[in-house]
Amino acid sequence: MPDAPGDDASDWGLLEPLAFGSGSCALTGDDAVLAALIAVEAALTGAWADAGLAPAWLEEIASSLSGARVDRDALRRGARAGGNPVIPLVAALRDYTDRERPGAGDWIHRGATSQDILDSALMLVASRAIVVVADRLDNLGARLADLADEHRGSLMPGRTLTQHAAPITFGAKVAGWLDGVESAIAALGRIEPPVQLAGSVGIGSSFVDLTGSPDAPAALRAGLAARLGLADPGRSWQAERSPVTRLASALATALGALGRIAADLLVLARTEVAEVAEGGAGSSSAMPQKRNPATAVLIVAAAGRSPGLLSTLFSAMASADERAAGEWHSEWQALRQLLALAVEASEASAALFAGLVVDADRMRANVDLTAGLIYSEEVFSRLTRDRGRAEATAMVASAIDGPTPFAEAVPMELSTATTLVAAATVVDAALARRAARLRKRDAS
């Protein structure tokens, strides 16, 4: 038996295989959140000095907070007793700063409430994570663009409702994946994680009381935002939670785009389809012949978890009072898990495509699997154009149901020309959209 983790042990990823090597723990784990909480308290302390509302020596105190050592067990006990981790953290930081300079603890957390600190800290964590996710998606987009261009003429069956429908090209399929990734990049690019600073009831009255200035709430919020590199929302969002749901929606969009790609790959990697394969595919504990598309499976699983987390965050919007009793608390883990899943799935997707094996010959063979039936839509369209809908319907039905193979029964030669032209148009348009975004990004 391995050593049994105690009650104070951390999760180490046994049931989160995608977390391994993804950096999600460093970006979103408890240590990252604690560091962000301390960073927010330090930034708020410094913001008092920046605004000229505190003694000059406070800047040195603010800078020293990053070196504060916090007893994790005491922090957890305090969080359990008070309902959030900020309460015991503030006590610890005040003790620390009072030892550094007697009376300095009076300036820690000055005028703020726990929600100010935790909301701002989670947005700080998010700001770092979404940069990583967007960068990984951009790299994935580059690989997809190359793949779409390379396979613009690689014919394969287009499938609808699990059945062969009409021919497409693998390049056109990849172009659709690329559009999804580009949409996710755009959604993340519109997110500017904001600070929250408005005191106990969301109107900043504590800052006015402490300074005698009605301008203090805005000045301190702006100073906090500048120090953390977050957006100044120009308002309180303590009870109005759209900044959280906008962020969550962008993350879910990214996970959905990646999940859709992975789900497609799972179909294409089936034994009887065999059009793609994962490089370094997973093995089975019972069946030695299997080469499981393990990475795609885990990406689909990650995407499948995002709607439930998104639901939790949207449900939390419907809360009462100036500070929610329970709804706000339900956001913490849901948002953090969405961030972690996006970090993990984006890394896994990049790894998957780095080793993806594409079998264009098998794709072409699968087009021919139904002896020309896959061209029935094209045949029907051309016959309708030349002979009218009624005659076209009768002729195609007869060709499908008759004893002769469809390709021989129809009064025309089956051609891939239309498919190739249409697919190339799709590919070119997707590549142009990506190129336009990159030009705009580089010019900004």
Active site residues: 284, 323
Under DSSP, is residue 405 helix (H, G, I), strand (E, B) or coil?
coil
Q: How far apart are CA 265 and CA 27, in angstroms?
A: 28
Residues 380-384: contacts with CB within 8 Å, 24+ apart? 382/412, 383/412
Which residues does 216 contact at the CB level (< 8 Å), separation at least 6?
A: 51, 53, 204, 207, 208, 210
- Pair of tokens at residue 148: 């779409």
Nearest to 141 by CA among 186, 88, 90: 186
Torsion of CA 102, 106, 108, 113, to 10 degrees: 160
Strands of 88-217, DSSP E: 155-160, 163-169
Provide Rg for the chain, Cα atoms. Answer: 28
CA distances from 222 to 49, 51, 109, 240, 319 (A): 13, 10, 16, 19, 27
| Contact call for residues 222 and 41 (beta carbons, < 8 A) | no
